[in-house]
């Protein structure tokens, strides 16, 4: 039944495309520009990354977006270096988050939206954060949440990704970039195994973890893969509904933000 509903709701421009093809990037960019509701939510993700950087991190060094994909963050914040593991025409450069082409202590902030769970080896990523960030600099990650509704939905939404909170190890070997990822990885590392993270990477500290409240618009918009369920004139009503149900957002949120900071040098 769920598969039938997914088939009916799949966006016609996405249907049948290989998730690893170069064509899907351009198609997804087109869909993003067409979807006012979804684009609004993504813009709020960008704002959350940037304002968190301004609030919690040193303002030294460059700012890097990893796993940018079809991102338009650079249009909103031009100083951002937009990157992905595969360079496309609208991005600045190719960057492997597990082996970054930057000098030690050269970056002030790193942003990653829905990309952390695609990293096959989070340990190597944390080593790179420790290496490339200034002391007082940090990383803002926006990832799939682990609440009741999110856990139910993510297990059923995508056939190319899993949502397995019971995965024992952090490492998730993938056959390719866009398939095989565990969307529960941020829960595993930053919630279930938080003590392990803190002991293994004492130079890094978790400043904040919290659910994001735009779940109604994100779901109703259909994201990049599905048709919108309601027209754009419903946006104000949905925003009001998100405000009303804010106290129970932990039950229904689809994403959360994790803010990681490299600790200040003892000499500063």
Q: Looking at the predicted structure, is the pLDDT value of residue 266 above 70?
A: no
Helices (H) and strands (E) in the chain — how many of each?
Answer: 11, 7
d(CA 167, CA 164): 6
For the chain, the average pLDDT equals 92
Distance CA 83, CA 87 (A): 7
112-148 pLDDT tens trace: 999 999 999 999 999 999 999 999 999 999 999 999 9
Q: pLDDT band for 235, please (50, 70, 90 cuts).
A: very high
Q: Retrieve residue 10's tokens.
A: 């799949």
Domain boundaries, the chain: 2-262
In the prediction, which pLDDT does 21 show? Answer: 67
Residue range 81-92, pLDDT digits in tens: 999 998 788 899
Percentage of the chain beyond pLDDT 90 is 78
Global confidence as pTM:
0.94
Determine the pLDDT at residue 174: 62
For residues 66 and 110, the answer to whether their CB atoms sit within 8 Å is yes
Average pLDDT over residues 228-239: 97
3-state secondary structure of 198: helix
**Quick one: pLDDT band at residue 241, thresholds 50, 70, 90?**
very high
CA atoms of 158 and 160, how far apart (whole Å): 5
Averaged pLDDT for residues 168-176? 77
CB atoms within 10 A of CB 155: 15
Q: Determine the pLDDT at residue 158.
A: 82
pLDDT tens by residue, 58-78 = 999 999 999 999 999 999 999
For the four alpha carbons of 212, 6, 222 and 119, in that order, the dihedral sign comes to positive
Read off the pLDDT band of 268 (50, 70, 90).
low
pLDDT at 176: 58
Residue 50 has a pLDDT of: 98
Domain 2-262: CATH superfamily is Vaccinia Virus protein VP39 (3.40.50.150)
């Amino acid at each position: 039944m769920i598969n039938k509903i997914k088939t009916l709701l799949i966006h016609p421009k996405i249907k049948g495309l290989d998730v690893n093809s170069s064509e899907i990037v351009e198609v997804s960019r087109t869909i993003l520009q067409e979807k006012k509701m979804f684009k609004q939510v993504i813009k709020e993700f960008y704002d959350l990354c940037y304002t968190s950087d301004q609030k919690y991190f040193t303002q030294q060094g460059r700012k890097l977006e990893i796993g940018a994909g079809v991102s338009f963050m650079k249009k909103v914040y031009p100083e951002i270096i937009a990157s992905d593991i595969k360079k496309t025409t609208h991005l600045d450069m190719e960057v492997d988050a597990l082996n970054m082409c930057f000098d030690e202590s050269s970056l002030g902030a790193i942003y990653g939206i829905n990309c952390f769970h695609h990293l096959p080896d989070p340990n190597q990523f944390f080593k790179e954060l420790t290496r490339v960030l200034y002391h007082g600099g940090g990383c803002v990650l926006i990832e799939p949440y682990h609440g009741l509704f999110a856990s139910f939905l993510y297990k059923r939404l995508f056939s190319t990704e899993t949502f397995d909170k019971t995965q024992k190890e952090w490492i998730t070997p993938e056959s390719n970039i866009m398939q095989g990822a565990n969307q529960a990885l941020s829960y595993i590392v930053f919630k279930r195994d938080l003590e392990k993270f803190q002991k293994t990477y004492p130079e890094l500290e978790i400043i904040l973890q919290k659910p994001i409240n735009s779940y109604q618009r994100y779901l109703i918009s259909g994201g990049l893969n599905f048709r919108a369920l309601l027209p754009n004139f419903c946006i104000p009503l949905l925003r009001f509904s998100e405000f009303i149900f804010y106290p129970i957002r932990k039950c229904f949120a689809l994403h959360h933000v994790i803010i990681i900071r490299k600790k200040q040098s003892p000499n500063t």
